[in-house]
């Protein structure tokens, strides 16, 4: 059994991670650390876990008895954690924060559809951001073929869970319900990792990524719509994407229009393409808490330990 620990266990992504790991056939969840919830049962904070586990949160950290550590603390906290806790030799790490997504300090960027081979041999993996996952999966085949050019216009709508568990002015129900708004236009932090990786896939790429993030009035999921110049015809574009994702465990190219409910509660990304004149419209949908966070983290763990990639992640969409 793979013995796992979690740091920062009280948030939405940690709740989903716990839900997966307590039902994962190859994992024993050793501890879940949370200073704010220490002593409480996990199900007192993550109520959906009632009946699944009687484990409690702890405020102590012992890394000596585990094989893999998941870091779910706020962005910028990972460095502070390692400054206070030396990493034991042989411990594998999957960091869900943005601190090492530039692949510094020996981390591998954990987007399996792009870097599966590197992840399989990694000791430390930096999990991608949620918007970054949806958008990059919509762009990887074009970038890998050297076909990105000109303006790439992206609008992506995320559910309220993307803002974290602590309520705020733009997350509480009465503001979010029946409402829609944009934020961090052209400046969202996930553009840093997207632009970096596109540059590695397509050296010299001069395409300009214009990203408008939006807040939706639903709890979870991301729907990204990407419009770009494309000289391929519709059949060639579909063939390019299907060939690129032919061996992907969780990313699929649909011949029909897609909707968000197809992926919510799963680790899937589903992509659909439409060609209009010289423009290609790429739709990409994921669950922001699963493929955009905790599900992808477990997918990376599976790859690190050489077990089947889909283990513990055969989740059904909550379509109704």
230 is catalytic: no
Query: Which listed residue (56, 72, 87, 130) is catalytic?
Result: 130
What's the CA gap between 242 and 141, in Å, rounded? 9
What's the CA gap between 272 and 100, in Å, rounded? 31
Which two structure tokens, joined as six digits, stand for 301?
């763990």
Q: Which residues contact 236 (CB under 8 A, 6 or more apart)?
A: none
Q: Taking a C-beta distance cutoff of 8 angstroms, is the pair 207, 151 a contact?
A: yes
- Please calculate the CA angle 115-72-269 and round it to the nearest 5 degrees: 45
CA neighbours closer than 13 Å in the CB half-sphere of residue 157? 13
β 181-182/208-215 pair status: antiparallel
166 to each of 3, 74, 120, 163, 171, how far by Cα in Å? 29, 12, 35, 8, 9
Q: Which residues contact 134 (CB under 8 A, 6 or more apart)?
A: 156, 222, 224, 269, 284, 285, 286, 291, 292
Which two structure tokens, joined as six digits, stand for 39?
């002593």
Segment holding 12, helix H or strand E: helix 12-21
Alpha helices in 50-129 (DSSP H): 78-84, 112-120
Q: Looking at the annotation, which residues are catalytic?
A: 130
């Amino acid at each position: 059994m793979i013995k796992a620990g979690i740091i920062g266990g009280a948030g939405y992504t940690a709740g989903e991670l716990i839900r997966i790991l307590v039902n994962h056939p190859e994992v024993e969840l050793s501890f879940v650390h949370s200073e704010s919830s220490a002593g409480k049962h996990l199900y007192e904070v993550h109520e959906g876990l009632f009946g699944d586990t009687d484990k409690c949160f702890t405020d102590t950290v012992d890394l000596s008895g585990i094989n893999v550590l998941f870091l779910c603390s706020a962005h910028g906290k990972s460095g502070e954690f390692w400054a206070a806790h030396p990493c034991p030799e042989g411990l594998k790490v999957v960091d869900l924060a943005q601190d090492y997504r530039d692949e510094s300090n020996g981390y591998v960027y954990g987007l399996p559809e792009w870097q599966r081979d590197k992840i399989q041999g990694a000791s430390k993996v930096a999990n991608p951001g949620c918007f970054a996952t949806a958008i990059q999966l919509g762009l990887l085949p074009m970038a890998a073929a050297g076909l990105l050019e000109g303006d790439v216009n992206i609008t992506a709508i995320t559910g309220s869970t993307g803002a974290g568990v602590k309520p705020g002015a733009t997350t509480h129900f009465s503001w979010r319900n029946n409402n829609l708004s944009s934020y961090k236009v052209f400046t969202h932090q996930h553009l840093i990792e997207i632009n970096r990786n596109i540059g590695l896939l397509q050296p010299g790429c001069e395409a300009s990524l214009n990203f408008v993030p939006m807040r939706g009035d639903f709890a979870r999921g991301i729907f990204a719509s990407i419009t770009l110049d494309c000289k391929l015809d519709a059949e060639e574009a579909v063939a390019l994407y299907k060939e690129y994702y032919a061996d992907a465990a969780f990313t699929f190219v649909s011949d029909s229009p897609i909707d968000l409910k197809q992926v919510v509660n799963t680790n899937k990304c589903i992509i659909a393409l439409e060609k209009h004149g010289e423009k290609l419209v790429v739709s990409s949908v994921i669950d922001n808490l699963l493929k955009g966070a905790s599900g992808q983290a477990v997918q990376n763990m599976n790859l690190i330990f050489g077990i089947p990639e889909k283990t513990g992640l055969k989740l059904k969409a909550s379509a109704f």
